[in-house]
């Protein structure tokens, strides 16, 4: 079983988009029984809130339902629970290190590091560009899934 936790600042835009895009991709390749996917925030600002409406609408445009998702914050104990902790930007990564006390097992990464153009996923809360966020997050999730499949099928 592989466990992935996606992270962003508030857990209402980018990380839930990543969570549900990844769940959809994993289901389409028949690996939903082998990969657990969740998301969380690095801050406390949005805890308990649902996915931000424009992010929810963008997911729905692609036939992906995220109903029932509520923001939660990353806990120190999540470091042991998950195999991959994937942040959207460098500020998220810094907060992840702070909350978890470091990255001793090389579990923490940026989502776009799984693509051909590493960098950050811009926060649509500020940019209001949910199309670009969708494209980046989808590309990153495809990269994560490709790497997992490669490791499981090729490397055992």
Question: Which residues have a catalytic role annotated?
Answer: 8, 14, 123
Spatial distance between the Cα atoms of 32 and 3, rounded to a whole number of angstroms: 11
Beta bridge partners of residue 41, listed in sequence order: 8, 73
Spatial distance between the Cα atoms of 101 and 52, rounded to a whole number of angstroms: 29
DSSP 112-136: GGGSSS-S----HHHH--HHHHHHH
Q: Do 41 and 10 form a contact (C-beta atoms < 8 A)?
A: yes
Residue 3 CB coordination number (10 Å):
14
Beta bridge partners of residue 108, listed in sequence order: 85
């Amino acid at each position: 079983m592989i466990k992935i936790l996606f992270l962003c600042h508030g857990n209402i835009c980018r990380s839930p988009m990543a969570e549900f895009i990844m769940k959809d991709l994993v289901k389409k390749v028949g690996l939903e029984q082998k990969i657990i996917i969740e998301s969380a925030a690095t801050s406390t600002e949005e805890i308990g809130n649902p996915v931000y409406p424009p992010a929810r609408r963008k997911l729905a445009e692609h036939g992906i339902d995220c109903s029932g998702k509520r923001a939660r914050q990353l806990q120190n104990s999540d470091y042991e629970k998950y195999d991959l902790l994937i942040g959207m930007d460098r500020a998220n990564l810094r907060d992840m290190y702070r909350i978890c006390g470091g990255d001793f097992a090389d579990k923490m990464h940026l989502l776009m590091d799984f693509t051909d153009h590493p960098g950050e996923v811009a926060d649509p809360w500020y940019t209001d560009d949910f199309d670009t966020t969708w494209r980046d997050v989808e590309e990153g999730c495809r990269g994560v899934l490709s790497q997992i499949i490669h490791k499981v099928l090729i490397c055992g």
